[in-house]
Structure 1
Amino acid sequence: MFGVVGGVGSGKSALCSAVAERWGLAVLDGDAAGHAALREDAVKNALHDRFGEAIFFAHGDLAHAEINRSKLAARVFGPGNEAALKDLEAIVHPVIRRRLLEEAAGWFASGVEAVLLDAAVMLESGWSEFCEKIVFVDVPRTERLRRVAGRGWDEAELDRREASQWPLDRKKAAADAVIDNGGALADAVRAFDALLFEWSVEPSPGAPIRRERSDLFAPARPAAGQTVLS
């Protein structure tokens, strides 16, 4: 398993998706696992006890209520909300961890060669212990601000969310490799390709990267006089 981290708006998810498609790999989406965790009854009950009914779209029967993630985010991100964030993490992170491990086990059982873990708080939560290598996706702040504007976020919102994570220089220092994703996605994908080759990852049969680099994956021709056993 290979972990992928970076700042908000660094394009981690798009990069993971493109690389996984080329190599026939699987992607574990930390955000998706987190959203799924918020739908579990035990999690909803615990969050209701900690934060009250205001974080739900509908009050009443928690089994049918849905958490309003925007309202929950407003309660846990930003200055002065550190204790609330720790409480949220204590409730949700163990469930996310379980879901990620179960999903990874399923992919490996299906024969997938490698899995990319895309999780914003991978290092902070300790999920990086699952990973053989960590890749940091590096993008200038000005470009990240341009990208998150498409989500309706301004600079203050980006800062508010990143304040709950490790500083980017700390994440970068913890990584085994750094990929520049400030330009064309195709350039970052090629850089990721090079890392996977270096780390001896085997593409899945039929993966596009095999067709592009067929010379690398073609069966070796025996030298004169060699015996080939099959």
Structure 2
Amino acid sequence: MYVIGITGGIGSGKTTVANLFDELGIPVIDADIASRKIVEPGQPTLSRIVAKFGEQVLDADGHLDRAALRDIVFSAPEKRLELEAITHPAIRQHMMEELKQCESEYALMVIPLLIDTGHWEMIDRVLVVDVDEHSQLERVMQRDSLSEEQVRNIFDAQISREERLAAADDIIQNNHGLDHLRKEVAHLHGLYSVYAAEYADEVNA
């Protein structure tokens, strides 16, 4: 199956763009959703995280305390790498299982760290959702109730905007409202349908 990888910095609007593709009937597999499922109580990934970072990353009900874990890993780069070594393989495996269930002309994978981490050999084309830094900062502070310092720490842990744009096959600028996004998605959907058909012809030749 032809697979589009959607990525972008935190607060860029990846989910909004993915939802617009979903409205067109294209299956969307989201790494953020997968990341939540693999750390549900009883999951082996959660046990590995607790073994590495301690009981302090659990709340009173035994669920992952994301805020506590975020404070640990974004204050020390080596801790973030340790966490990613645990979670990223599990997220990829979960998403690949979902991809196997898809029956459509193409599928989308929403992967915030697609370019940062690599190891996504199944991705045929990269779509970057881009937004100016000021808007990005305000969105994340408001959405996640974080301080400016906390958000900038997250920015610093990700690759630069310039590196992300350089790796893109396609770019959607998310500074112009929902109507603009809808038009951009409709245009790309037409292109991706053609690419997917060509890919299918090559595979079946």
TM-score surpassing 0.5? Answer: yes
Does the Cα contact within 8 Å between 1:128 and 1:134 map onto a contact in 2?
no
Kindly tell me the number of residue pairs found equivalent between the two proteins.
192
What percentage of residue pairs aligned between the two structures are identical? 28
Q: 2:130 aligns with which of 133, 138, 144?
A: 138
1:115 matched residue in structure 2? 107
1:183-211 CA-to-partner distances (Å, cap 9, x unmatched) read 112212211221232233499xxxxxxxx
Write the distance in 2 (CA, Å) between the matches of 1:83 and 1:144.
Answer: 25
* 1:149 equivalent in alignment to 2:141: yes
Write the distance in 1 (CA, Å) between the matches of 2:30 and 2:119.
Answer: 12
> Secondary structure at the residue paired with 1:179?
strand
1:123, distance to aligned residue in structure 2 (A): 1.8
Write the distance in 2 (CA, Å) between the matches of 1:53 and 1:98.
Answer: 26
Question: Which residue type is aligned with residue 82 of structure 2?
Answer: D
Question: Which residue type is aligned with residue 141 of structure 1?
Answer: E
Q: 1:102 aligns with which of 77, 90, 97?
A: 97
1:27 matched residue in structure 2? 28
Does the Cα contact within 8 Å between 2:21 and 2:189 map onto a contact in 1?
no
Write the distance in 1 (CA, Å) between the matches of 2:137 and 2:73.
Answer: 22
* 1:177 equivalent in alignment to 2:170: yes
Structure 1: stretches of 5+ with no match in the other structure: 59-63, 204-230
* 1:91 equivalent in alignment to 2:86: yes
1:90, distance to aligned residue in structure 2 (A): 0.9
2:62 matched residue in structure 1? 65
Write the distance in 1 (CA, Å) between the matches of 2:127 and 2:190.
Answer: 14
Question: Which residue type is aligned with residue 82 of structure 1?
Answer: P
Question: Which residue type is aligned with residue 66 of structure 1?
Answer: H
Q: Could you state the TM-score of these two structures normalised by the residue count of structure 1?
A: 0.77
1:125 matched residue in structure 2? 117
Could you list the structure 1 runs, at least 4 aligned residues long, displaced by more than 3 angstroms after superposition. Answer: 199-203
Give the root-mean-square deviation of aligned CA atoms: 1.9
1:47 matched residue in structure 2? 49
Does the Cα contact within 8 Å between 1:55 and 1:72 map onto a contact in 2?
yes
Does the Cα contact within 8 Å between 2:128 and 2:165 map onto a contact in 1?
yes
The within-5 A match list for 1:179-218 is 179-201=172-194
> Which one has a bigger Cα radius of gyration?
1
Structure 1 residues 127 and 184 mapped into 2: Cα distance closer, same or farther (>3 Å)? Answer: farther
Write the distance in 2 (CA, Å) between the matches of 1:194 and 1:73.
Answer: 37
Does the Cα contact within 8 Å between 2:105 and 2:193 map onto a contact in 1?
no
Does the Cα contact within 8 Å between 1:172 and 1:178 map onto a contact in 2?
yes
Write the distance in 2 (CA, Å) between the matches of 1:202 and 1:82.
Answer: 39
Does the Cα contact within 8 Å between 1:113 and 1:202 map onto a contact in 2?
no
2:203 matched residue in structure 1? none
2:4 matched residue in structure 1? 2
Write the distance in 2 (CA, Å) between the matches of 1:36 and 1:193.
Answer: 30
